[in-house]
Amino acid sequence: MGILNVTPDSFSDGGQFADPGAATERAFAMVRDGADIIDIGGESTRPDAASIDADEEWARIGPVIERLEELAAPLSVDTTKSEVAVRAVDFGAAIINDVSGLRFDPGLAELAAERRTGLVLMHMRGDPRTMQGDVTYADLMGEVKGGLAASLASALEAGCDPAQIVLDPGLGFGKSARGSVELIGRLSELATLGRPILVGPSRKSFIGELLDASPGRRLEGTIAACLMALERGARIFRVHDVAEVRSALAVAEAIRDVGAGGRRKD
C-alpha cells in the first residue's frame, strides 16, 4: 500500500504532493514501483495534528482522485469522515482506511456495507491531538486486540461482510517507541481475530528513536520492521518507499516459502 499524502503537515512528506499534478504523478510512479494499493489522505494524523473539516479535506484529495481513474491499482481513502469517504467512493475508491476504528464516525461502516468497499480498521487511543499524551498500557496487546475486536464487531453489526475488513494495530498511534516494537514482535497474537493484518511502520518515530535518524533516513528501519511483521503474519504494508520495501519482501517471501516446503503459509 503506497502512501499518498496530499497534506501540508504530514510528518514525513507534508506539502511535497499537495499539488494535484505532483500527487497524480506520485500515484502512478508508486504503481510502477509495485504498489498494489494507493492510499490517499488529506488530513494529517501525525501527533498534535490539527483537525480539518470535511470540505477542506475533500478540497485537498478530490482533485487528485478525479485524475486517478486510469490508475492500475485500487484506491484507498484515508479518512475518518463518511462525508469524505462517500465522495471518494463515488469517484471509484475501493477501500476506506479509518484510523479511528469507527470511533469517530460509525457511518463509515454503514457506507462500506452498502457500497461493498474494503474497510481498514485501526487501533488508536484518543485522537491525533491527544494520542501521545498517554502511551502507558497495563496490557498493550490485550488492549489493542480488544479494541480491534470491538471495531470489527461494530463493522459486522453495520452489515459488513468479514471479507471486507482488514485490521491495523496502529503502530505509533498512542503507543511509545517500545510499544510499537512490542506490537510488531507480538503481531501473531492478532491472528485469532481472523482478518488480514496491515502494518504501517514507514518512517515512524519509533524507528527514528531506535536509529537516532530523521524521517528521510529511516528506510532501513522501515524495511526491517516490515520483514519482521511479515514473519509474524502481516499481509499488507503501508509504506512511502514502495520499490525498496517490495523488493525486500519478495526476497523474504521466497525464503519463507522454501522453509515451508515450497508452499505459502497464507
Active site residues per annotation: 204, 238
Nearest to 60 by CA among 6, 116, 114: 6
Residues 117, 77: contact at Cβ < 8 Å? no
Question: Cα dist. 114→14, 73, 90 in Å?
Answer: 33, 22, 12
**Cell 476506506 sits on residue:** 96
Residues 117, 111: contact at Cβ < 8 Å? yes
Largest CA-CA distance found in the chain, in angstroms, rounded:
53
**CA–CA separation, 88 vs 94, rounded Å?**
9
Q: How far apart are the first and last CA of the chain?
A: 18
